[in-house]
Amino acid sequence: MARRYWNTNLEEMLEAGVHFGHGTRKWNPRMAPYIFAKRKGIHITNLTRTVRFLLEACDLVFDAASMEKQLLIVGTKNKAADLVAQAAIRAWCHYVNKKWLGGMLRNWPTTEMRLHKFRDLRTEQKMGGLNHLLKRDTVMLKRQLSRLQTYLGGIKYIMRLPNIVIIVDQQEEYTALRECITLGIPTIYVTDTNSDLDLADISIPSMMTL
């Protein structure tokens, strides 16, 4: 197999503050092997290990994409939401960047029904069908469409359960993570020093969780 080279620049990661972890009072002891030092009450992560896991994640995602597998990126923190959407759209991935609806993966038949409803409403709106309804019905359906766009807009083209889920923050997306574990869906997540690395297939210790 040809060796792959990914753009991982330690100097740029240092400048971006990727090495800064949580405060020393809020940390998970399981993160100890990945902590380099303590500075002014803050844990400093070992960037060489961060890079190692990041490269593993890049290889996994590359292989999955080359086999046309379904990838889903989840990041609903306000600071991360727009970046998640931009990255996912650029990479042709599905994404959830608003509230994670409980059971989105675990109760997949229900999610499929919502997606079918969402697609039908979008089609109806594009064809001008909503304009021929009573004003009250039009307002109700447009409100419903807006809500579906907010929560399901990033997965409107997904046709089956994702093969890999990339999670931006373990603490924030714990419900999504537990659903993936229950269903046996491989996960990659960016984790801080207050998280549990053992819950994902590949964990990337860093402050990229924003």
Strand order in the sheet with 35-39: 20-23, 42-45, 35-39
Query: What is the Cα–Cα distance from 47 to 27, expressed in whole angstroms?
Result: 17
User: What are the chain's domains?
Assistant: 13-105+161-202 (3.40.50.10490), 108-153 (1.10.287.610)
pLDDT tens sequence for the chain (210 residues): 455 666 666 676 766 666 666 566 676 666 767 776 777 777 777 777 777 888 888 888 999 988 999 999 999 988 889 999 999 999 999 999 999 999 999 999 999 999 999 999 888 888 777 777 777 888 888 898 999 999 999 999 999 999 999 998 877 899 999 999 999 999 998 777 666 777 778 877 665 444
34 Cβ contact list (under 8 Å, min separation 6): 45, 46, 49, 50, 193, 197, 205
Query: What is the Cα–Cα distance from 64 to 92, expressed in whole angstroms?
Result: 13
Beta strands 42-45; 20-23: pairing state: antiparallel
Secondary structure of residue 49 in the 3-state scheme: helix
Q: Is the pTM of this model over 0.85?
A: no
Q: Are the CB atoms for 93 and 73 separated by under 8 Å?
A: yes
